[in-house]
Each structure stands twice: as C-alpha cells, then as structure tokens.
Chains A and B, each alone.
Chain A
Amino acid sequence: MRAAAVSKYVAFARVATALARRDRGELYGRMLFFAVILGVFSSLWRVVAEAGMPIAADPKLLVWYLATTEWIILSAPPVHTDVQESIRRGDVVCRIGRPVSYVGAAFAEALGLLAVRAPLLAATAWACAFAFTGWIPPLAPLAWTLPFGFAGAALITAMCLWIGLLAFWLEDVSPVFWVVQKLLFVFGGLMLPIELYPRAMQVAAAWTPFPAMLAGPASFVLRQSGAGWLTLAVHQAAWGAAAALAVWWAFRRARATLTINGG
C-alpha cells in the first residue's frame, strides 16, 4: 500500500482520537462503570472462595483476569451504531464518494478511538484490580496482555463493523449485536477462564473467534507468563483475516445492491 494511502487512514484515526479527547465524559463514564463491576465481581469471587466452592483458580487471579477481559470489552468502540446511523441517515453517500475505502476509514476511526480508550482503561483496570485484591501479578505477563488485548479489541471492533454493515439490509442491527455480544461473553470467557468450562463448552468455544478476543489475551495473567503467545498471535491473525474478508464481502454486496433513502 502506498504511503499516501496509509496516511489517509492514519488521518481518520487521528480525527477519531481528537473526537475521543473532546468527548471525555463518555470515557470517564466507562472508567466509573469499570470500577463498579470489578468491585462487584471481586466481592463475588471472595465470597465464592470463602464458601469453598470448587473453582480451580485463585480469586485474586480471577479478579485480574476479569479486569483484563472487561478492559478489552470496554475499550472496543461500538462502531456498529455509528455505521448503522450513517447508513440510516444516508451520510454514507458522502463517504462512499471519496477516494478512500469506506470500511477502511470506519475501521481506522474506530482504531483511533481504541488508541485513546485502551491505555486509560488499562490503567483503570489495573488500579481497580490492585485496589480490590491488594496484589499485583508479575509485570511480564501483564505486559503480554497489552498488545494481545489491543489486538483482541481490534478484532471485536472488526466484528462490530461487520454487524454495522448489516444495516444495509436490516432495519435495526441491535438484535444481531446483542446475540453476538452474548456469544462473546460466553464463548470468549468474559467472567471465567474457558479452562474452567465443561469439556463440551471448551470444544465449542475453540471453534469460535471469541477466545482470541478475550480469554486468550487475559490468560497471560492466569499463567503468569507469556507462554502460548505464538499460538494466540496465529489465532488472532487468522480470525483477523476472516473478519477482514467478511467485512469486505458484506460491503461489496451492499454496494452492488445499494438503495439509499431519497435516491
């Protein structure tokens, strides 16, 4: 790809970072929400541990695991709502007419938002996890979670972009989003590491992209090492390619049959 072409997408990402910096209220809201849910779940794991439930994991590690998965989920921008609105309002026509890929620009914008959110929410996640457990895992596994967590959030963003493009055919993509999000929560291992699931659930989860988004990056905290990074990198790259293909195909189909409100 030519440098000029790359610089276009960088420009979209920069505009989005400028937007994120202006719209700080939403970010602070997410940080507050983060603190609340981590507080609730750290109390829950403590109670579960005290009750002697057969959970084969240290409650402190589970809180740090949850902090990591929630960090990834909350960092990923809900790009499907923006894309849906753009299609509903017809603004998409202004963007399609430019010498730049519409989906590429939308993804670059989302990555720009992600670049602002992710570091702040990571700091919030770690600060809250430390506050609720009084313990910090070794820094090396925490450092592994950062790039892979960012990549996981980028994968979620690509999935949301694909969902948003369904607005070319569906009146409302929210039901699709809710279903996919719940699958992500369950098969991605949002609350619990997938290793603690029943065998059948583990096998089912392995066939989905969701562990590469959440459980994979968060598992560095459980293992307290960077082991398995190459496998995860391969999984993320493969699912990233699949997501790119799905987005490209959906947009290509949409362009061919495009019907825009008001002509």
Chain B
Amino acid sequence: MRATPAVVITDLCKAFHVRRPRAGGFAARLQDFVRPHTQTVTAVDRLSFSIAPGERVAFVGPNGAGKSTTLKMLAGILQPDAGEVRVLGLEPSRQRHELAFRVGTVFGQRSQLWYQLPPRDTFALLGRVYEIAAAEHRRRLDALTAAFGLGAILDTPVRQLSLGERMRCEIAASLLHAPRILFLDEPTIGLDVSAKAVIRELLHTESASHGVTLLLTSHDTADIERVCERVIVIHRGRLLWDGAIADLRRRYLTTKRITVWSEAERLDLQLPGVRVLSSDAYRTELEVALDVASVGQVIDAALAQSAVRDLAVEDAPLDAVIRALYAEAEARRSET
C-alpha cells in the first residue's frame, strides 16, 4: 500500500490585488480614496507537484516567484484562488486547525519566540498550544535541547541571543509538536557561515532520523545542496524544474572550471571552447564549454606543454545553473 503523499498540489493559482496610487495631486488622491486603482499580480500560476513522505525538497525561485505564497497556502495561512492543495491528505485552507498539529513552519525573517522572554517560556506556551502532554513535552524539549545544543541558552531572554542561536530556537520551537512536515522559508537568512552550517546539519539530521518531510525555500544554494536531494524551481509562479539536484546539474551544466598548476611558468591553451579566466605564474584557470571541448582534451593539451603539479576540475556553482534556468525561462517568455 502506498503512503499518502506529504504534499500534493494540482494547478494551484493565487493572485493578489495590489493598490497602485494614481499620479497627481489632490484630485488623484481623492479619486484613489473613492475608487482605488488596483493591479492584479499573479503570484502562483497553475503550479503542480507532489512530495513523498520524508523527502527533503528545495523550493527555489527568484524574488517574487511565488515561493512564500505557495508555502503559506500549504500551511493554510493563505487561501488559493484555484487548484487543489493536499497536505498529509488534508485541505489546508479548510482543515487548518487539524493540519497545524502535523506541520511546522519556520519563517527566517519572522519570529515565533517572545522577544523579551527566554525560549523556555515560548516552548512552554507552544506545549499548551499544541496540546502536548506535560511528560511528552518534557521528553521532546530534552531531546531538542540536546540535538540543537540549547542547554546554555534556554533561560536567556531571546533579545540577548545571537541570530544563529535564535534560529536554532525557532527551528526547535517548530519541531516541538513532532510535525510530519516542516516548511522552512529562508531559515539561514542573515546567518554567518558557521551558523548556516549548523542549521543545515540540524535540519538534515532531524529529517533523516525522524522522517520529517522538509520543504525549504532559500536563495542560498548551499542550503539546497547540503539539506535537500530534490529541487523544485519556479519562476513567475510557474514550474520550471522538478527533479534531483544532480539531474539539474547534468541538464544545465554547460561548462566546467579547470585550474592547472604547471611546472612551466605559462601555458598557452588556445583551444576551441576554452576560455582563459586567469593566468598567473604557474597557475592557469580555464572555463571549458562542454558542448565544444571535453575536460580530457584540455588536460591532454596542458600535459603536452608541461608537467602538471596539480589539477582541479569543478562544476559551475549551482547558482549559475539556476541562473541559466531563469534566463532560459525569460528568453522563452519574451519569444512568446
């Protein structure tokens, strides 16, 4: 028997009506007051995908692509205009209360902690809100305190915590009621490199060990690569890509970067499809267009000129891959 999908979205649509003030003086303002001029902005446009239980999925798109709107519809905060949404078999906009017990949300730029109070007080409150029995609450809190390293900060007012500490508390707070799905909207925004690494590790571990489904939006591709195995890319509310991160790389990776440390001071690698990015003494950095030249050809050419002390072959960063995807979508849009 197949398990109920964690998330199923079919032809989901959502538009916002945004006020656009008229230009001009008092008359325009009066007109705006009497009959406001509104513009319809389509945030989500016939979006469809599904997520299996326990999957870790990155939900990616440029600003205004409709990621946060989709997450809020999944959490039952916003109501869809059209289409169908099912989360753990429930309809979020109609069964929000029931669903709330099974999902957790983390909004990186919003806080669910009481600013002046220690996290312990918020955790106690959330225990009541999610109707967790006292013994179970203690057990969950102890487990999360150990997993997230909160012991030293549990009784410190939130306003005295660093952003990284606060975010650990935010995620712990959203996991307190043992949700089956966690929706994360830019959970590492504003964090330093080491705090980001900690959050990514915690999310991955929590999901892998407890089977929690993750749906993560982020502009930081390292979040996507370290935490998720699948990526859904949307642009202007529409689906651009849905598949494994490795497949996305294979499909859109058109270049590789090769750095050669040679015995010879300079290398002359003027080959078709090869662009020299930088050339210093004993070090040459190249970009190879894979549809024109292969990595092997470039290495052979380098070896023919000099002994090679070291060599590094890197994929283009995921950022570049996703940018290429957006650019392709924009090009298609302008064609039509």
Q: Footprint of B on A, CB under 8 Å?
A: 4, 7-8, 10-12, 14-15, 18-19, 22-23, 89-91, 93-100, 255-256, 258-260, 262-263
Closest to B100 in A: A99
Task: Give which listed residue, A12, A90, A95, A98, contacts B109 with CB less than 8 A.
Answer: A90
Task: Give which listed residue, A15, A98, A260, contacts B100 with CB less than 8 A.
Answer: A98
Closest Cβ–Cβ distance, residue A76 to chain B (whole Å)? 20
Binary interface encoding of chain B residues 70-93 relative to chain A, with 1 for a CB under 8 A from any of its CBs, else 0: 011001111100000000000000
Known contacts A19-B116, A91-B111: A97-B121 contact under CB 8 Å: no
Closest Cβ–Cβ distance, residue A68 to chain B (whole Å)? 31
Closest Cβ–Cβ distance, residue B153 to chain A (whole Å)? 17
- Nearest first, the 10 closest Cβ-Cβ pairs linking A and B are A263-B68, A11-B128, A99-B100, A263-B69, A94-B112, A97-B75, A259-B16, A4-B131, A91-B110, A96-B77
Q: Which of A18, A93, A255 has the most CB of B within 10 A?
A: A93
- The reply to whether B117 and A15 form a contact with Cβ atoms under 8 Å apart is yes
22 example contacts (A-B, Cβ-Cβ < 8 A) are as follows A7-B128, A11-B129, A14-B125, A15-B122, A18-B117, A19-B117, A22-B117, A22-B157, A91-B111, A93-B107, A94-B107, A94-B111, A94-B112, A96-B77, A97-B76, A97-B96, A97-B105, A98-B130, A100-B129, A259-B16, A260-B72, A262-B68
Closest Cβ–Cβ distance, residue A79 to chain B (whole Å)? 15
Interfacial chain A residues near B17, Cβ < 8 Å: 259
- The reply to whether A94 and B72 form a contact with Cβ atoms under 8 Å apart is no
Of residues 105 to 150 in B, which have CB atoms within 8 Å of A's CB atoms?
105, 107, 109-112, 114, 116-117, 121-122, 124-125, 128-131
Cα-based distance from A93 to B66 in the complex (angstroms): 16
Interfacial chain A residues near B125, Cβ < 8 Å: 11-12, 14-15
Closest to A260 in B: B72
Cα-based distance from A263 to B217 in the complex (angstroms): 13
Q: Footprint of A on B, CB under 8 Å?
A: 16-18, 43, 66-69, 71-72, 75-79, 96-98, 100-101, 103, 105, 107, 109-112, 114, 116-117, 121-122, 124-125, 128-131, 157
Interfacial chain A residues near B105, Cβ < 8 Å: 93-94, 97
Closest Cβ–Cβ distance, residue A156 to chain B (whole Å)? 24
Closest to A15 in B: B125
Interfacial chain A residues near B97, Cβ < 8 Å: 99
Interfacial chain B residues near A94, Cβ < 8 Å: 105, 107, 110-112
Interfacial chain A residues near B128, Cβ < 8 Å: 7-8, 10-11
Known contacts A11-B128, A18-B117, A100-B129: A93-B100 contact under CB 8 Å: no
Interfacial chain B residues near A97, Cβ < 8 Å: 75-77, 96, 100, 103, 105
- The reply to whether B121 and A98 form a contact with Cβ atoms under 8 Å apart is no
Interfacial chain A residues near B122, Cβ < 8 Å: 15
Known contacts A15-B121, A19-B114: A259-B77 contact under CB 8 Å: no
Cα-based distance from A84 to B283 in the complex (angstroms): 59
Closest Cβ–Cβ distance, residue B285 to chain A (whole Å)? 38
Interfacial chain A residues near B75, Cβ < 8 Å: 97
Cα-based distance from A94 to B106 in the complex (angstroms): 8
Closest to B130 in A: A99
- The reply to whether B18 and A262 form a contact with Cβ atoms under 8 Å apart is no
Cα-based distance from A255 to B68 in the complex (angstroms): 17
Cα-based distance from A262 to B124 in the complex (angstroms): 30
Closest to B122 in A: A15
Cα-based distance from A192 to B157 in the complex (angstroms): 44
Cα-based distance from A23 to B116 in the complex (angstroms): 9
- The reply to whether A99 and B129 form a contact with Cβ atoms under 8 Å apart is yes
